[in-house]
Structure 1
């Protein structure tokens, strides 16, 4: 009899425990559902905040300002940014609670830009030197004392310009990876300029090139644009360059 009572008591305790666990589970599920609903509401709010309306004057200005800054960053060599830190900095400035002084910020910006540019310069310079070294091994390529290289595509028999002349030239300029950065051929109109009004590599090539010639010219960075680069970043600092040049005439 005692054993029966004990068994019944144990069963009652077990059912009670099971019932409590079931209740706890139901409460937990309800809590998770509530948290999920709250999260969906927050995500919806974030998505609405991220919607861009360029018809709104403030949003239009803000977007335009971002594009301007982004282009400036790309020009000096940046390809990424901590957007969260950038947004926090803007908000801090607007609320007068900057975490860095303006002078320290300017120093940090200049230092980082210089590091990126130095790194890119070393890369460009090394790539250019290697390219020219290998290119100079080709039998059809002539290398001058300055390091200028040229390959005759069409042999002209006209006069050779001097540093006092103006010339008419068709050309296509490209980086050593083949990317075109400028082309009078694409514009459909030759360029006219004084022989001394162009980079040193061009000056040298033009003064050994007969009218009627078409050459492929390979220019080391030190007689191209060197440290400064050109074209608003299209020609990086220390970049070796390739030009297909056709000397059409000496202008009178």
Structure 2
């Protein structure tokens, strides 16, 4: 099992436990995913207050080096705040039809956590792309939403706020963590 699979699979179990203990509250927006999914949907949690820089970062603020198929280097600036909404930006254009819910995707990715600006996981490093069915709840909502329309051959930046990521955290991801992914759509469909 890949390290992202361990992160997401364990997060799914934790989300299921939280959902069972919170039955009837109406506050749980998580959906557990198969343990093989590295980007399982977590529960959400309230944000921890931090010092503000006065503006939210935009996609253009994030530094990304490397081309499609190459392990990217991701640089997160320190002079702006993490975005509170999902941000997507194609860094390399793809071709063909855009991905729709229900379609299988094969993706390479690198994940950097906002709070410490460190790489947490990378399928590029393992030489093993990640497979999922888009919109099936197998991955975090930030991926299910952020990869809609991605074309084969595209490199896409995803900046995922905590409510669309891992919420309460776990397995190396801090609570209320903003996640920065660079993804390559190896295969769509």
Shorter-chain TM-score tier = 0.5 to 0.7
1:236 to 171, 174, 189: 174
2:48 to 122, 135, 140: 122
How far, CA to CA, are the matches of 1:132 and 1:158 in structure 2?
Answer: 40
The CA deviation string for residues 97-127 of structure 1, in whole angstroms up to 9 with x for no partner, is: xxxxxxxxxxxxxxxxxxxxxxxx615xx47
- 2:101 pairs with 1:179: no
Q: C-alpha root-mean-square deviation of aligned residues, in Å?
A: 2.8
Residue 149 of structure 2 corresponds to which residue in structure 1?
208
TM (normalized to structure 2)? 0.56
How far, CA to CA, are the matches of 2:97 and 2:107 in structure 1?
Answer: 14
The count of aligned residue pairs is: 120
1:220 to 161, 165, 173: 161
TM (normalized to structure 1)? 0.43
Does structure 1 conserve the Cα–Cα contact (< 8 Å) formed by 2:59 and 2:89?
Answer: no
- 2:26 pairs with 1:134: no
Q: CA deviation at 1:137?
A: 7.8
How far, CA to CA, are the matches of 2:188 and 2:95 in structure 1?
Answer: 13
Does structure 1 conserve the Cα–Cα contact (< 8 Å) formed by 2:59 and 2:157?
Answer: no
SS at match of 1:134: coil
Structure 2: 5+ residue stretches without partners = 1-46, 63-83
Greater helix share, structure number = 1
Q: 1:168 to 1:148 in 2, by over 3 A?
A: same
How far, CA to CA, are the matches of 2:60 and 2:104 in structure 1?
Answer: 32
1:170 to 85, 95, 108: 108
Deviation >6 Å, runs of 4+: none
- 2:81 pairs with 1:159: no
How far, CA to CA, are the matches of 1:219 and 1:132 in structure 2?
Answer: 19
